[in-house]
């Protein structure tokens, strides 16, 4: 008779250093010396930390397979094919290996006690899936070269506090995770709604020391904060660079002082597909924000080869309705579209300042509006724009 002993994943509990997403606007700003000085960019004091984890429990170690036995009563056992089982209860059980295809499922109808690896038994939050992934990954049995896939079905709306990094989904901490892929169910598309506002700030996704890819059928929305309303890549403090790849999905309906949709503060972002749209800036401390869609900060990089950045910015966006490139950051555009974004001062499509660099070799910049330079605005006090291809047309003025 074959013994069946269930694995119970170990779950670690991590505590975070308290952080704060409120900062003074004067700490990071455009490096211009002229009119750009008025558009200072706020500094996020949030201290990086690990995702909130559930309380670890106890499990029963698995026993190796039993030998196959002949029909009882004949007295002649068949040749055993497995070693004799160890005695349960001795020693400390090791974390179970991840499934052969490392995928976890999250649904609005899920439960925290579910396994998450069975689509019929989904978890209730992405953070719960990350806790299980972290346990399996740090247990040393992760399949070489495999990413962890999290599939979201339906709308997951956040409630309560977010923790140190003020994020609904927090993928941070060196060595905690394999590369993570977030995507939605193809039938019941996924939505992660941070459900934040000016009285209760927070963002949808934070990435530090790890790589996260946003895939198809998933929308990140409802963020409201100073830096990166939808997504923040890296931050001040001890965390090193994060890496964000947008291969599909949507980032929409978020608000931030610097980067309504995304802020790349420390690390890189590559956009090959998907759409960043209808994100806005705040006028925190009565100062209009920059980068309605994306804000690329000091010494970071953003590469656009596919997908669309459109209809971001608006009345509270001073510069860079679609993209703001500041502080020796690098923006490379080889494809994709920047369409119908707006700002009140300069660069309805793209603003380049603070010795930032924009290399444009492919794609389309069209239909953007601003008071000055509707398509691309380059600061006379430090900024580089080089076009070798692509199309710029129909912008105002």
Residue 226 and residue 284 in contact, taking contact as beta carbons nearer than 8 Å: yes
pLDDT digits (tens, 9 = 90+) for 287-323: 999 999 999 999 999 999 999 999 999 999 999 999 9
Question: How confident is the model at residue 75, as a pLDDT?
Answer: 40
Please state the separation of Cα 394 from the chain's center in Å.
Answer: 33
pLDDT digits (tens, 9 = 90+) for 69-126: 333 334 443 434 444 444 444 454 555 555 556 899 999 999 989 999 999 999 999 9
Question: How confident is the model at residue 100, as a pLDDT?
Answer: 58
Question: How confident is the model at residue 39, as a pLDDT?
Answer: 41
Does pLDDT of 133 surpass 90?
yes
Question: How confident is the model at residue 4, as a pLDDT?
Answer: 31
346 or 94, higher pLDDT: 346
What one-character-per-residue DSSP string does 85-129 give?
PPPTTSS-PPPPPPPSS-EEEEETT--TTS-SSSTTS-BS-HHHH
For the chain, the average pLDDT equals 81
CA distance 301 to 308: 18
Q: Which two tokens stand for residue 142?
A: 């992760």
- The sign of the torsion formed by the CA atoms of 134, 135, 139, 144 equals negative
User: Worst-scoring range by mean pLDDT, 54-58, 140-144, 366-370?
Assistant: 54-58
Question: How confident is the model at residue 101, as a pLDDT?
Answer: 64
Question: How confident is the model at residue 236, as a pLDDT?
Answer: 61
Question: How confident is the model at residue 45, as a pLDDT?
Answer: 35
Question: How confident is the model at residue 239, as a pLDDT?
Answer: 57
Domains, the chain, in order of start with CATH, read: 28-66+102-393 (2.160.20)
Question: How confident is the model at residue 137, as a pLDDT?
Answer: 94
pLDDT digits (tens, 9 = 90+) for 159-208: 888 988 899 999 999 999 999 999 999 999 999 999 999 999 999 999 99
CA distance 171 to 174: 10
Model confidence, pTM: 0.78
Question: How confident is the model at residue 6, as a pLDDT?
Answer: 26
Q: Cα angle at 312 between 311 and 314, to 5 degrees?
A: 105
Question: How confident is the model at residue 163, as a pLDDT?
Answer: 85
Tokens 């005695």, residue? 87
* Cα radius of gyration (the chain): 24
Does pLDDT of 21 surpass 80?
no
Residue 327 and residue 301 in contact, taking contact as beta carbons nearer than 8 Å: no
Task: Report residue 240's pLDDT band, with 50, 70 and 90 as the boundaries.
Answer: confident
pLDDT digits (tens, 9 = 90+) for 33-83: 344 433 443 433 333 333 332 333 333 333 333 333 333 334 443 434 444
- The sign of the torsion formed by the CA atoms of 280, 179, 13, 111 equals positive
Question: How confident is the model at residue 96, as a pLDDT?
Answer: 56
- Percentage of the chain beyond pLDDT 90 is 67
Mean pLDDT, rounded, for 358-382? 97
């Amino acid at each position: 008779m074959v013994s069946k002993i269930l694995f119970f994943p170990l779950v670690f509990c991590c505590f975070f250093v308290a952080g704060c997403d409120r900062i003074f606007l004067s700490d990071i700003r455009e490096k211009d010396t002229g009119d750009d000085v008025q558009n200072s960019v706020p500094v996020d004091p949030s201290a990086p930390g690990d995702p909130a984890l559930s309380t670890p429990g106890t499990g029963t170690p698995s026993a190796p397979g039993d030998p196959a036995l002949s029909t009882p009563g004949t007295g002649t056992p068949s040749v055993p094919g497995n070693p004799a089982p160890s005695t349960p209860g001795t020693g400390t059980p090791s974390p179970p290996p991840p499934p052969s295809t490392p995928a976890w499922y999250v649904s609005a109808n899920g439960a925290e006690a579910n396994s998450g690896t069975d689509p019929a038994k989904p978890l209730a939050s992405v953070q719960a899936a990350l806790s299980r992934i972290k346990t399996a990954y740090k247990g040393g049995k992760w399949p070489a070269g495999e990413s962890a896939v999290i599939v979201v079905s339906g709308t997951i709306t956040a409630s309560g506090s977010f923790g140190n990094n003020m994020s609904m989904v927090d993928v941070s901490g060196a060595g905690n995770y394999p590369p993570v892929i977030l995507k939605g169910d193809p039938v019941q598309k996924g939505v992660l709604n941070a459900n934040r506002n000016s009285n209760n700030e927070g963002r949808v996704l934070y990435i530090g020391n790890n790589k996260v890819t946003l895939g198809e059928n998933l929308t990140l929305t409802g963020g409201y904060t100073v830096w990166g309303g939808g997504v923040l890549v890296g931050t001040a403090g001890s965390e090193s660079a994060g890496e964000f790849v947008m291969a599909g999905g949507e980032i929409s309906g978020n608000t931030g002082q610097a980067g309504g949709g995304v802020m790349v503060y420390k690390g890189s972002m590559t956009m090959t597909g998907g759409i960043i749209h209808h994100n806005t800036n705040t006028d925190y401390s009565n100062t209009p924000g920059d980068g309605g869609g994306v804000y690329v900060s000091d010494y970071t990089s953003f590469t656009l080869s596919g997908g669309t950045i459109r209809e971001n910015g608006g009345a509270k966006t001073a510069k860079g309705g679609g993209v703001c490139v500041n502080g020796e950051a690098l923006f490379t555009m080889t494809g994709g579209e920047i369409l119908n974004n707006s700002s009140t001062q300069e660069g309805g499509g793209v603003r380049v300042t603070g010795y930032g660099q924009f290399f444009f070799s492919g794609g389309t910049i069209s239909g953007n509006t601003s008071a000055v330079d509707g398509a691309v605005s380059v600061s006379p006090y430090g900024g580089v724009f080089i076009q070798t291809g692509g199309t710029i047309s129909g912008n105002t003025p």
